[in-house]
Structure 1
C-alpha cells in the first residue's frame, strides 16, 4: 500500500499551473484519492484557491500542477509570463531629467487593483457543461497529462467546420435574433484563435503546437484543432466574458447561444470527438523532456 505523503500542507501558499501559466494559490484542503480509476493508482490531491480569482475557480489539482513558493519557482513563473503570447512590455515613463515617474507607476498599480476588484464583484456567469462533455473533458485531461498522449492534428472536423455544421443545423429555424447568432459564431471562432496558444493548451501539448504552426503557416488554429480543444474554451468562457464590457442583455444572449451549442455538441459528440488519442512519438517525448 502506498504511503500517504503530501508535498504541500493545508493553508500553504503555492504556485499552481492553470493552463500554460503559474498563479499564486492557497491550499484549502488536502485529500488522498484514486487518480487513475482504470488502474487504481492513488495519490494526493489539493483543493486550491487562486489569489484574486472568484471562488468558482477553486479546483482540485494533482501534485504535478503545484510548485513550492520559492525563488527558483517564482523565477519560472516570471519567465512563463514573459514568454506568454501577446504580452505587451511596458516602458517606465521618465521625467525630463531622466528619472522614473513613480506617480504614473502608482496610478497604473491602482488601476490594476481597481480592475481586479471590479472583476471580482461582477455577477457569476454560469455556462453548464452537459454530463457527456464533462466526462470528455476529464478523459481529455487524463489522456494528455497522465498518459502523455496527443490529439492527432489537423483534426476533422475542425473548429471552423464544427461551427459551420452547427450553423447549418439551425437553418430551418428562422429567428429574429439571427444577426446575434451569426455574431456569436464569429465570436467563438475569434476567441478560439486568440486563446488556443495562450490558455487552452496543456504543457505536454505546447511542442505539438509549435510544430503544427510551422507546418500550417497559412491556417488559423480553428482550421487545425477540433472539438477536444473547443470544449476547453467553453470552460474558460465565464472568465473571458467577465473581463469584457458587455451589458447584461448581451451576456444573456451569448450565454443562451453557448448553452444551445453545447447541447448540440453533446447530441453529436460521437461525430465530433475522438474516441482515442495517439501516443506521442519517442522523438517528441525526447524534445519535451529536454
Structure 2
C-alpha cells in the first residue's frame, strides 16, 4: 500500500470509537479505502468496527476521524466524556450473550503508530464545557434515537446556518475589537459542521435518514438541513477537533471563548433552538436500518 493510503489502524486492533458524543471500546473487523457518503464525501480510510458487548447489528463502517488509539491518554478522554453525562447510567445496548471479563490490556497502541497521533496525545486537553441543561438534552436524545427508535424531523427550522445567524444578530450591539475573530469563528463552526456531520455526528440509526435527505436536497449544505440537536454534538467533539489542528494558543483561546458563549446563548434559548419531541421512525425505515 502506498503512503498516500496509509491506514492508522489495522484489522483486529482494539480501539476507542465515537458513537454519538461518547467513546466506546471497539474492535476493527475490516479496513477499506473509500467514501462513506458517495458522491458527497471524499475517499479515505474507513473501518468496520464492532463495539464490545453490543449486538452484531450495531457493527458499522466509520471514518478514521471517529476512532482513537487505545492508550492511556485516550482512555482518560473516554472517562472525561463519560463524566460529562451523569444522567446516562449505561449508554450501551444490551446483548443477550454472556459478558465475559474484558481483556482491555491486550491491545495497546503500537510504537509505530502515526506521528500525528503521538503529537495529538501530547497536546494539553482543551475543555469546552457543556451546560448541564444541554447535557441533559444530549442524554435524552440518545435515549430517543438509540432506544426508542425516533428521529429528528428534517429539515429543521431553525437550521444550523440560521442558528448561527441568530446568534450573530444577538451580538450586533456588542461589537468589539475582536469582531473579525467573532465572524471567523461562526464561519468556522459552520464549516466544521458541514464536514463532520456525515462522518462523526450521526448515530447509526440516523444514517439512512441522512442518505434519504441528501437525495432529497442535493443542493443544500448539511448546515441548511440539520439543526441545534446535531450542532450540540459538534460542540462535544470540538476539543478533539481543535487538538488535531495546528492553531496557536491565542487562536485556541479565542475560539474556545466564543464556543463557550454560543453554548451559553443556546442554553438560554432552548425552546427556539431545540426539539422537545422527536418523530417515530416508520416500520419501513426500521426495516431498512435492520437489513
TM-score, normalised relative to structure 2:
0.68
Work out the CA distance in 1 between the residues paired with 2:92 and 2:260.
32
What's 2:146 paired with? 145
Give 1:57 shift: 2.3
What's 2:160 paired with? 159
CA contact (8 A) 1:127 1:258 kept: yes
Work out the CA distance in 2 between the residues paired with 1:279 and 1:263.
30
TM-score, normalised relative to structure 1:
0.68
Work out the CA distance in 2 between the residues paired with 1:155 and 1:229.
10
What's 2:224 paired with? 223
- Three-state SS of the structure 2 residue aligned to 1:157 is coil
State the structure with more CA Rg. 1
Q: CA RMSD in A?
A: 2.6
Is 1:57 aligned to residue 78 of structure 2? yes
Farther-moved stretch of structure 1 (49-58 vs 172-181):
49-58
CA shift digits 1:227-280 (9 cap, x unpaired):
000000000000000000000000000000000000000001111001100000
- Three-state SS of the structure 2 residue aligned to 1:64 is coil
Work out the CA distance in 2 between the residues paired with 1:114 and 1:16.
18
What's 1:187 paired with? 188
CA contact (8 A) 1:144 1:204 kept: yes
Work out the CA distance in 1 between the residues paired with 2:149 and 2:16.
20
Going from structure 1 to structure 2, the CA distance change for 1:224 and 1:180 (only over 3 Å counts) comes to same
The 5 A counterparts of 1:27-38 are none
- Three-state SS of the structure 2 residue aligned to 1:274 is coil
CA contact (8 A) 1:16 1:65 kept: no
CA contact (8 A) 1:17 1:65 kept: no
Is 1:129 aligned to residue 137 of structure 2? no
Aligned residues: 214
Work out the CA distance in 2 between the residues paired with 1:237 and 1:210.
24
Give 1:63 shift: 3.8
The 5 A counterparts of 1:20-99 are 24=26, 51-52=70-71, 53=74, 55-58=76-79, 59=82, 62-64=91-93
Going from structure 1 to structure 2, the CA distance change for 1:61 and 1:244 (only over 3 Å counts) comes to farther
Work out the CA distance in 1 between the residues paired with 2:243 and 2:15.
24
CA shift digits 1:8-36 (9 cap, x unpaired):
xxxxx9666523898647xxxxxxxxxxx
CA contact (8 A) 1:24 1:51 kept: no
Going from structure 1 to structure 2, the CA distance change for 1:271 and 1:128 (only over 3 Å counts) comes to same
CA shift digits 1:192-226 (9 cap, x unpaired):
00000000000000000000000000000000000
Is 1:249 aligned to residue 230 of structure 2? no
Going from structure 1 to structure 2, the CA distance change for 1:226 and 1:211 (only over 3 Å counts) comes to same
Work out the CA distance in 2 between the residues paired with 1:54 and 1:165.
37
What's 1:270 paired with? 271
